[in-house]
Structure formats: C-alpha cells, structure tokens
Amino acid sequence: MFQYLDPLFLIQTLGLIGVIAIVFAESGLFFGFFLPGDSLLFTAGFLASQGYFSIYYLVIGCVVAAILGDSVGYAFGRHVGPRIFVKEDSLFFHKDHLIKTKMFYEKHGSKSIVLARFVPIVRTFAPILAGVGEMRYWQFLRYNIIGGVVWATGLPFLGYYLGKTIPDVDKYLLPIIAVIILISILPILFEYRKHGKKHSNRNF
C-alpha cells in the first residue's frame, strides 16, 4: 500500500501527466493532503535530469497545476464557508488538520498562502481557509502565483541540478528524499508541540 505514496514509484508508473495531476490534487483538494508533494517534485526533477521527461514541461505543468489547484481549493472554501468546521471526520477529511491550518493562517496572515506551499497538509487546507475567510480573490491569486512558481520551480530544479552535477547521485536518492520529507514536516511538529504545551498549561 505504501508504495502508492512512494514518489519514485508514482512517477515511474504515472509519468509526467500523473505528477501534474498529483500536484493539482495535493494543492487544493481536501482529500489530497496525504499525497506526496515536496518529495514528488524533487524526485521528478531528478528523473528529468536522467532523461525521463523534459524539465521545462515538468516545471510549467506543475506551476500551472499548483496555481489551479489552490484556486479550486479557494473556490471550494468560498462555497462551503464556515460549515466546513462542523463536517465530521472521514477517511479523507480530518478536522484537526483544518484547525492546525487555521492557526497557521491566523499567525502568518495573507502570506501564509506562500509559506504554506512548503508545509505538507497545511498546503492543502490553506487555500480552502482563505476562501472560507473570504480573502479577496485578487489578493489570494497574487500570493498563490508567487508561492506556486517558487515551490513548483525550486524543488524540481534542485533535483535536476543534483542529478546533473553529482556523480551516482541516484545511490543517495532515498536518503535525500527522506531529508526533504523531514524538513518539510518540521513546522507541523513544532506547531503540534507548541499547541500541546498551551493545552497542558490550560489544564493546570
């Protein structure tokens, strides 16, 4: 089952179109939070350096998918509104993820649309919350484009650069992916720890 979350397996199985589709789903569809994002883009960039597909098609496709995905999430949030906070947990929806994203959004404001690009789970729910909070669309779109371009360009080109410049880098691909995943989830771990401490203090 876990192989379906392995970026290397997904790319080799689904190809370029599959990568673009996953980026779209993970960017703004609330059931896409469990899909790989950062590691997928990095691995796709590395495979592009090995001739699997064009790095330029990859980057252009992923930038467009990221921006459109966030826009769909925003539209969903505008349509559903605050009702989303009373939605019951299910296989593809966990209210706790929404609450953590709300805390992130309240802390960083509008720029959270850019920052969230680099934080798994938060990345998926941030545009939805922007819609729920009725952020002006043109303001949202500006941050959406900035975040989408930086995220969907930076990670693939990092993988591409390492694949082109470091001999036998494929031997270290899995450890590099593990480091990227660890770095990307650190903000979530810090937020959970901080939230846990506040909750404990309130109990005393």
pLDDT tens for the 204 residues of the chain, in order: 456 678 888 898 999 999 999 999 998 787 777 788 888 999 999 999 989 999 999 999 999 999 999 999 999 888 887 776 666 665 556 667 667 677 777 776 777 888 888 888 888 888 888 888 788 899 999 999 999 999 999 999 999 998 888 877 667 777 777 777 777 666 666 655 665 555 444 443
Query: What's the rounded Cα separation, in Å, for the pair 44 and 196?
Result: 36
Strand partners, 93: 90
What is the pLDDT, as a whole number, of residue 203?
44
Long-range contacts of 107-116 (CB under 8 A, 24+ apart): 110/135, 110/139, 110/140, 110/143, 111/143, 113/70, 113/140, 113/143, 113/144, 113/147, 114/143, 114/146, 114/147, 114/150, 115/147, 116/147
CA distances from 87 to 103, 134, 200 (A): 18, 19, 26
What is the pLDDT, as a whole number, of residue 90?
57
What is the pLDDT, as a whole number, of residue 147?
94
Q: Could you count the other beta carbons within 10 Å of the beta carbon of residue 64? A: 15
What is the pLDDT, as a whole number, of residue 118?
85
Q: What is the dihedral of CA 189, 190, 195, 199, to 10 degrees?
A: 90
What is the pLDDT, as a whole number, of residue 47?
92
Q: What is the dihedral of CA 115, 118, 121, 124, to 10 degrees?
A: 70
Global pTM reads 0.80
